[in-house]
Amino acid sequence: MKTLKDMIKDLTGVTVEKEKINKYLESERLDLEGANLECVYLEDANLECADLRGADLEDANLRCADLKDADLRGANLKDANLECADLRGADLEDADLRGADLYGANLRGADLYGANLECVDLEDANLRGADLYGIKITKKQLEQLTIEED
């Protein structure tokens, strides 16, 4: 099976029309392991279960993207726009999210083990059930979080 990664190695600054990538995803699981997607525009894209391990998504626009169960281990998401993105069950272990916008993002059940969350906007983000062990976070970010008591 030929993957998109095999066909295109570097998508730096490319704008991908969400209809085209969504159509592609209907037929196969997207494999972009290690791909350079710096500054890519994927707002509202369906990236559910995508393999983005080690991908460079610095400054990417992933606003409202569906990244449920995506594999983002070790990915570079510095300064990425993930506002309102659906990251339920995503694996973000050791991902670099410094400066990313996660305002209103759904990270329920996500694995953030060892992720760098310095200067990340976590306001209104859903972190229920997420693995937060070993994350790097500031006091200001802690103040953005809502703690619900059972």
Tens place of pLDDT for every residue, the chain, 150 residues? 445 555 555 555 555 665 565 565 555 567 888 989 999 999 999 999 999 999 999 999 999 999 999 999 999 999 999 999 999 999 999 999 999 999 999 999 999 999 999 999 999 999 999 998 988 888 888 777 765 555
Q: What is the pLDDT of residue 140?
A: 82
Number of separate domains in the chain: 1
d(CA 9, CA 18): 19
Q: pTM score, two decimals?
A: 0.81
Give the CATH number, domain containing residue 34.
2.160.20.80
Q: What is the pLDDT of residue 1?
A: 47
Q: What is the pLDDT of residue 66?
A: 96
Amino acid letter at 122?
L
How many other CB atoms are found less than 10 A from the CB of residue 6? Answer: 9
Which residues span the domain enclosing 56?
Answer: 1-150
